[in-house]
Structure 1
Amino acid sequence: MSALDIQQLRDTTPGCQSGIVHFNHAGASLPSQATLDAIIEQLRHEARDGPMEAGERGAVLVDKARRAAGQLLNTPASSIAFTSSGSTAWNMAFQALGPWQPGDRILVGRHEWGGNLASMALAVQAGAQVEVIPCDAAGAVCPVALEAMLDAHVKLIDLTWLPANSGLVNPAQAIGAVARRHAIPYFIDAGQAVGQVPVDVQALQCDVLKSAGRKHLRGPRGTALLYIRPDFLQHLNPVQRDVFSAPWTAEGFDLRNDARRFETSEVSFALLAGLGNALQEINRWGIERVWERVSQTSTRIREALRQLPQITLHDLGTTHSGLIAFNLAGWDSFELKRRLGLKRINIGANGIAYTPLDMQARGLASIARISVSPLNTDDDIEQLMTALGELSD
């Protein structure tokens, strides 16, 4: 992306005009003015014409959003559902995979998102076992080790692709090849991947993939997308149903034959209008260009952090994402986040609950996190490094 491209992005993003340096895109990124306009315009129609009456217009916008999501993930629009959060999406798909039986095995990476592990509680109560796939020498999930673990009792392989507490990019495609070879369901938590790295669900060979709208997609909070492989749909029996997800037929209520069996009749058309605009924007820019820019910016930040002797980086793997986990000696991560905030610099901070298996394995109580976007500039980096240098003295 050229300097002119970056300036155009920033000029059309209100948050970039506020004087705040935003390095918390993995928590929630900054929406464009056009995304805000799309939300507000739908709300105006609802206020003027009546909320239900404006639903027809809203449904058209949701269809556009669904097609844009399909384009981004290389899949038909019919395999995309929209939900209120990434955790909701993952939990609904996981619960629909049941019922769970004693002896069932669920294989996860050491870096699994804490919310996904929490959702597995009912399966564990039913007798299922959650087991951790060993890591390779660089700290990534090991496909060879995974294959050695497989037997007839493995009911699910689940991978958090880009973990919240490190710069790791797990080998999602290689894991998918193992899962498909053994015909085992494969779920991907792509909450930090979609909108940051190219995501091709055909190449990944996953059965389910989810991501939040508020992160690298730059969509509004309260939105998320859920991909279901069409041939896998028959294996998912959602617990939550209504007249939209299971419409009335001559034989009674029956589940939809597409991913919308995970949606409900009550949705925020305004928020999905905003998500649709955000999806269309990233498709116009091109995800490959976005990923190239993120890689360049995060590399510069990592190099600068290594020049500060009080900084410890917590990167894993050989390929690194735009999430940079670190600690500053003498500082609690959450207090560091607060103090930088007083300097009008936003970063993130994560505790053990976010990635409990990996945090405990590495003896980490908390981490501070910088996460980048094409919106970030060299001036942003300079301000961040100046502030960290002052705090490390």
Structure 2
Amino acid sequence: MIDIDRIRADTPAASRLAYLHNAGAALMPAPVVETMKRHIDLESEIGGYAAADRESARLEAVYGSVARLLNTAPDEIALTENATVAWQMAFYALPLRAGDRILTAEAEYAANYVAFLQVAKRTGAIIDIVPSNASGELDIHALERMIDQRVKLIAITWVPTNGGLVNPAEAVGKIARAHGIPYLLDACQAVGQMEVDVEAIGCDMLSATGRKFLRGPRGTGFLYVRRALLQRLEPPMIDHFAAPWVARDQYRLRDDARRFETWENNYTARLGLGAAVDYALNVGIRPVEQRCRMLADRLRSGLGSIRGVTIRDLGHAPGAIVSFTIKGYEAEAIVSSAAAAGITIGASDPSSTRIDAEMRSLPVVVRASPHYYNTEAEIDRLIGLLTDLVPR
């Protein structure tokens, strides 16, 4: 059971805002902010190097916290500046060649897809889109039929940015493992709102951010790489932390996932990320997921009763991102009207998931993403605002 009163007390902005933009950047809880402030103060008092040395045990513990969140080992975790860097370090380490096939989903995120395009341009690799099923999820049977000897990577986004769709990540993992194909999972919108167990999923690589449902600071991310694959990957860029210079003409890659890191880091943000992960684990990811889905379902139900509203979410069991449009109203105008009423929501541009958006002829959609610290009353406030916005 989540103690909502305590959680909201740890989230001061919740007393003045109905904050429903957690798929963008969630509100950090007070312990995260306090952790970062303490380290900034320490750096100002004794300098950055000495501060990092003094806090070395806590900095090292961040790897253990992320590992517990994902059900893996600390040596399979790299900490990065953001999720995009994490994803890129894994993707660009794969030795793709002419004719190699990359299988991805219709709702793949723009940052990932442009990387596919660049590698295809450079190497002659081929990008193939796995079609969706009737519910809008990646079609597992179609994926199975598309497998051949030329498939060298399966890379999908678990929860796309433009709606509540939850792709069948674990079912994809079973196929990838059965055929020995590397599997890269973008879990940006999943981590923090639902349970993420890399052993159960079967992915070989997973990237995520701190700023979204994990409630961590911006400028933080992490990468998981399965140990069996790790030893076969050389990062696209290295420094002397990732690969110590052991002789004048020789370097040696680290044995752990930190071969995907660099020497210099924002230690304040890293400590904030660790505090955010620990906070989420203490609250409990399973009750968080249950509450997120309950609030999102409540919002979808309310939106369904408003004239002119079209809910744009896909999937048979959508998550905590609710996307919709209102006939005759631009998304930004709706976001602005909500902001004026003390309700924070966002919007998603078709260019962020171009293939899915073009196939469904999506305009810019409004995106509301509740989290466990939100209340039913806040959901109802948004529903009431939108009801009043539309002429009867």
Fold shared by both chains (TM-score > 0.5): yes
Instruction: Identify the residue that residue 13 of structure 2 maps to in structure 1.
Output: 15
1:31-83, CA deviations, whole angstroms, 9 ceiling, x for partnerless residues?
Answer: 01110010011111111111111111343222111111111100001111111
Partner residue of 1:247 out of 244, 248, 258: 244
Q: Structure 2: how far apart are the matches of 1:359 and 1:342? A: 29
Q: Structure 1: how far apart are the matches of 2:188 and 2:19? A: 19
1:214-263, CA deviations, whole angstroms, 9 ceiling, x for partnerless residues?
Answer: 00000000001111111110222112111111123368321111110111
Aligned ranges for residues 103-118 of structure 1 at < 5 Å? 103-118=99-114
- TM-superposed deviation, 1:379: 1.8
Say if 2:363 is the partner of 1:343.
no
The number of aligned residues is: 389
Instruction: Identify the residue that residue 128 of structure 1 maps to in structure 2.
Output: 125
Q: Structure 2: how far apart are the matches of 1:249 and 1:84? A: 27
Partner residue of 2:379 out of 372, 375, 381: 381
Partner residue of 1:218 out of 215, 218, 234: 215
If the length of structure 2 is used for normalisation, what is the TM-score? 0.97
- TM-superposed deviation, 1:183: 0.3
Matched residue SS, 1:24 = coil
Say if 2:37 is the partner of 1:40.
yes
Tell me if structure 2 keeps the 8 A contact 1:108–1:131.
yes
Matched residue SS, 1:355 = helix
Instruction: Identify the residue that residue 149 of structure 2 maps to in structure 1.
Output: 152
Partner residue of 1:142 out of 133, 136, 139: 139
- TM-superposed deviation, 1:20: 1.4
2:315 maps to amino acid: G
- TM-superposed deviation, 1:196: 0.6
- TM-superposed deviation, 1:353: 1.6
Tell me if structure 2 keeps the 8 A contact 1:107–1:158.
yes
- TM-superposed deviation, 1:122: 2.4
Q: Structure 1: how far apart are the matches of 2:313 and 2:56? A: 43
Q: Structure 2: how far apart are the matches of 1:57 and 1:321? A: 41
1:62-107, CA deviations, whole angstroms, 9 ceiling, x for partnerless residues?
Answer: 2111111111100001111111111111111111112x32211110
Q: Structure 1: how far apart are the matches of 2:117 and 2:166? A: 26
- TM-superposed deviation, 1:296: 1.1
Matched residue SS, 1:90 = helix
Partner residue of 2:25 out of 23, 28, 35: 28
Q: Structure 2: how far apart are the matches of 1:329 and 1:308? A: 11
Tell me if structure 2 keeps the 8 A contact 1:186–1:206.
yes
1:380 maps to amino acid: E
- TM-superposed deviation, 1:310: 1.6
Tell me if structure 2 keeps the 8 A contact 1:58–1:269.
no
1:231 maps to amino acid: A
Q: Structure 1: how far apart are the matches of 2:73 and 2:236? A: 24
Instruction: Identify the residue that residue 82 of structure 2 maps to in structure 1.
Output: 85
Matched residue SS, 1:211 = strand
Instruction: Identify the residue that residue 264 of structure 1 maps to in structure 2.
Output: 262
Matched residue SS, 2:230 = helix
Aligned ranges for residues 243-322 of structure 1 at < 5 Å? 243-249=240-246, 252-322=250-320
Matched residue SS, 2:49 = coil
Matched residue SS, 2:231 = helix
Matched residue SS, 2:92 = helix
Which runs of 5 or more structure 1 residues have no equivalent in the other structure? none
Instruction: Identify the residue that residue 184 of structure 2 maps to in structure 1.
Output: 187
Tell me if structure 2 keeps the 8 A contact 1:104–1:129.
yes
1:3-48, CA deviations, whole angstroms, 9 ceiling, x for partnerless residues?
Answer: xx0111000112213x111000000100011100100111111111
RMSD in angstroms over aligned alpha carbons? Answer: 1.2
Say if 2:351 is the partner of 1:353.
yes
Matched residue SS, 1:360 = helix
Instruction: Identify the residue that residue 175 of structure 2 maps to in structure 1.
Output: 178
- TM-superposed deviation, 1:366: 1.3
Q: Structure 1: how far apart are the matches of 2:368 and 2:383? A: 11
1:357-381, CA deviations, whole angstroms, 9 ceiling, x for partnerless residues?
Answer: 1011100021111101011102211
